[in-house]
Amino acid sequence: MDRRELLKMIAVLTGGAVIGGEVFLSGCKTGAKADVGFTATNIALLDEIGETIIPATATPGAKAAKVGEFMKVMVTDCYTQEQQDAFMKGISTIDEVCKKTNNKSFMDCTPEQRHELLVSLEKEAKEFNAKQEEADKPRKEELNAKDKGYDFVASPRHYYTMMKQLTLLGFFSSKTGMTETLRHVPVPGKYDGAFPYAKGDKAWAE
């Protein structure tokens, strides 16, 4: 699975284009803040959020793929400043919401409490993102009418959407995800249109 196909898959799973995806593909930087303010505590929290989204089973989970560090790089290099600000604010917000709900921080919650919190944030994110898309429509249509659609930059999506997208992207583009979760072929082989498939087989990674 190449990077572009991976971005398409994540867009389907999260209901919207991957934030910073085009910058990720091009390898360029956005020119936003070089020091966003990540700390070791932030990264540890993002690792645990990622592990709740992709927990370890018979294969390693998101934490083993170091998705927290991956998020730091992506947010720093591929997000606009507005998106960076929304993401960093989200790190604080998720703990605030958790304390209101469970009377303790995300790091101190049980796996079940973490899962329930993220399920509620998923619903909240869908509603928030739908409102953002509606608000963005006039500007997007205006630029498209001028054949300048490439200048359109969507308003920041919900912080949980960003975290989920980066967890999926970080995990499935990591060595762990590519070699231990997906079936890995280190070099392209010949095409076999009659290759047998069994229900439940892993997807292929190249």
Write the pLDDT tens digit of every residue in 124-149.
999 999 999 999 899 889 988 988 88
Instruction: Give residue 1's pLDDT.
Output: 56
Residue in 126, 42, 110, 122 with CA at minimum distance from that of residue 76:
42
Query: Cα(178)–Cα(127) distance, rounded to whole angstroms?
Result: 32
Which pTM value belongs to this model?
0.79
45 residue type, one letter:
L
- Number of domains the chain is built from: 1
Q: Residue 123, class by beta-carbon neighbours within 10 Å (0-12 exposed, 13-18 middle, 19+ buried)?
A: exposed
67 residue type, one letter:
V
- Is the Cβ–Cβ distance between 159 and 124 less than 8 Å? no
Domain enclosing residue 104, as ranges: 3-187+194-205
Mean pLDDT of the chain: 84
pLDDT tens by residue, 153-186: 788 899 999 999 999 999 988 877 666 665 433 4
Beta-bridge partners for 205: 184
Range with the lowest mean pLDDT among 6-20, 41-55, 162-176?
6-20
